[in-house]
Amino acid sequence: MLGGVFPFTRIDTVTGTVTWPNQLLDPIYAWGNTNTWPGDSQDAVVSSSVDNVQDNRDYYQQMASYCYGPPYNSCGENPNNVTLSSGETIAFDGTHGIGQGLYSAITSTCTAGPGGNTPGVGYWATDKNTLYVCNPTNTWTAYYTPYTYPHPLTGSDSPPAPPTNLTATVH
């Protein structure tokens, strides 16, 4: 937590020093996309050309299933820069990106985020409709399950009928 008078002093109430706040790491997860690179105009993967946004820290992505060509990491999770043939993919090993498949096929080891106790690599379990992330290291934790549609709090598929017993008096 920060204290002091903004913008002149920002005192970290934990350390008692003027410092920049350390924000919680909340990475982006992208999976189940396809990519028709090279020559396409709509890549379905995330990439960054700046150092303060990094793959496998600020965002995790699944290897695009139709990615091929030269060894470019912007083509999806390709940590070893392997040149791929058409239709070839890189098997998920729990060290980078996001895997997808049956929960029974999830890797036994996995890499957490920085420090070993922040959200890391992910795995979309198709049979459980749940994204699992590695946090802490070598521990898969349920991270995201989409809401059902319609949302359970609506209580029905359609809105209620308007009331029919209302009367109004106009003066």
Per-residue pLDDT tens digits of the chain, which is 171 residues long: 556 665 556 677 777 777 666 677 789 998 876 655 555 544 445 666 667 788 888 888 886 544 444 444 444 445 555 655 555 556 788 998 898 899 999 999 999 998 888 899 999 999 999 999 999 999 999 999 998 877 777 766 666 677 777 776 776
Residue 16, SS3 per DSSP: coil
Provide the pLDDT for residue 131.
96
Backbone angles phi, psi at 112, to 5 degrees: -80, 175
Backbone angles phi, psi at 170, to 5 degrees: -105, 130
This model's pTM is above 0.95? no
**CA distances (Å), 98 to each of 1, 40, 155, 166, in order?**
33, 23, 34, 56
Provide the pLDDT for residue 108.
95
> DSSP assignment of 100-132, as one string?
EE-GGG--S----SGGGSS---EEEETTTTEEE
**CA distances (Å), 124 to each of 29, 61, 140, in order?**
10, 11, 11
Provide the pLDDT for residue 16.
76
Provide the pLDDT for residue 145.
93
Residue 152, SS3 per DSSP: helix
Provide the pLDDT for residue 106.
96
Q: Residue written as tokens 């989409």?
A: 146
Contact predicate 103/125, CB 8 Å: yes
Query: Exposed, middle or buried by CB within 10 Å (0-12, 13-18, 19+), for 32?
Result: exposed
